[in-house]
Amino acid sequence: MSTTPSSPAPAGAITDVAGIEVGHHTDPRRPTGCSIVIARQGAVAGVDVRGAAPGTRETDLLAPGNLVEQVHAVLLAGGSAWGLDAASGAVRWLEEQGIGLDVGFGRLPLVPAAVLFDLPVGDARVRPDAAAGYAACAAASRAHPAEGNVGAGAGAVVGKMFGFGHAMKGGIGSASVTVAGVTVGALIACNAVGDVVDPETGQPLAGARTPDGQALRDARRALLRGEAPHPLLAGSNTTIGVIATDARLSKAQAQRLATVGHDGLARSINPVHTMSDGDTLFALATGVRESHPGMMVLATMAAEAVARATVRAVQAAHTLRLPDGTVLPAMRDLGHSLGLR
pLDDT for 70: 96
DSSP H/E element including 312? helix 295-315
Q: If pLDDT is split at 50, 70 and 90, which confidence band does 196 have?
A: very high
Cα 32 from Cα 154, distance rounded (Å): 5
- Whether 164 is covered by a domain: the verdict is yes
Q: By mean pLDDT, which of 5-14, 260-269, 275-284 is the weakest? A: 5-14
Q: 3-class SS at 127?
A: coil
Higher pLDDT, 3 or 136: 136
Amino acid, res. 172: I
Q: What is the dihedral of CA 227, 232, 235, 237, to 10 degrees?
A: -60
Cα 55 from Cα 60, distance rounded (Å): 13
Mean pLDDT of 57-76: 95
CATH number, domain of 288, equals 3.60.70.12
- Whether 8 is covered by a domain: the verdict is no
Q: If pLDDT is split at 50, 70 and 90, which confidence band does 66 have?
A: very high
Q: By the 8 A CB rule, do 62 and 104 touch?
A: no
Kindly tell me if the per-residue pLDDT of 42 is higher than 50.
yes
Higher pLDDT, 131 or 340: 131
The pTM is what? 0.94
pLDDT for 5: 39
Burial 215-242 (b: 16+ CB within 10 A, else e): bbbbbbebbeeeeebeebeebbbbbbbb
- Give phi and psi for 290, each to the nearest 5: -75, -30
Burial of 327 (0-12, 13-18, 19+ CB in 10 A): middle
- Whether 20 is covered by a domain: the verdict is yes
pLDDT in tens, 90-127: 999 999 999 999 999 999 999 999 999 999 999 999 99
Number of structural domains the chain divides into: 1
Boundaries of domain holding 215: 14-328
Mean pLDDT of 292-312: 97
pLDDT for 89: 98
- Whether 334 is covered by a domain: the verdict is no
Q: By the 8 A CB rule, do 285 and 249 touch?
A: yes
* Length in residues, the chain: 341
- Whether 69 is covered by a domain: the verdict is yes
- Residues ≥6 apart with Cβ < 8 Å to 60: 66
Q: What is the mean pLDDT of the chain?
A: 92
pLDDT for 232: 78
- Whether 341 is covered by a domain: the verdict is no
DSSP string, 324-340: TS-EE--TTTTTTTT--
pLDDT for 266: 96
pLDDT for 340: 40
Mean pLDDT of 55-60: 95
Q: By the 8 A CB rule, do 166 and 208 touch?
A: yes
Q: By the 8 A CB rule, do 162 and 229 touch?
A: yes
pLDDT in tens, 138-163: 999 999 999 999 999 999 999 999 99
Kindly tell me if the per-residue pLDDT of 6 is higher than 50.
no
Amino acid, res. 112: P
Q: By the 8 A CB rule, do 287 and 246 touch?
A: yes
Cα 239 from Cα 260, distance rounded (Å): 15
Tell me, what DSSP letter sits at residue 241? E
pLDDT for 335: 58
Kindly tell me if the per-residue pLDDT of 199 is higher than 80.
yes
pLDDT for 234: 67
Q: Show the beta-strand stretches assigned E in 164-250.
A: 168-169, 171-179, 182-191, 195-197, 204-206, 238-247
Which is it for strands 168-169 and 157-158: parallel, antiparallel or unpaired? antiparallel
Tell me, what DSSP letter sits at residue 145? P
Mean pLDDT of 322-333: 91
**Residue 140: closest CA among 46, 69, 72, 55:** 72
How many C-beta atoms surround the C-beta of residue 63 within 10 A?
Answer: 14
- Whether 98 is covered by a domain: the verdict is yes
Q: By the 8 A CB rule, do 335 and 341 touch?
A: yes
Phi-psi label, residue 96: left if phi above 0, alpha if psi -120 to 50, beta otherwise: alpha
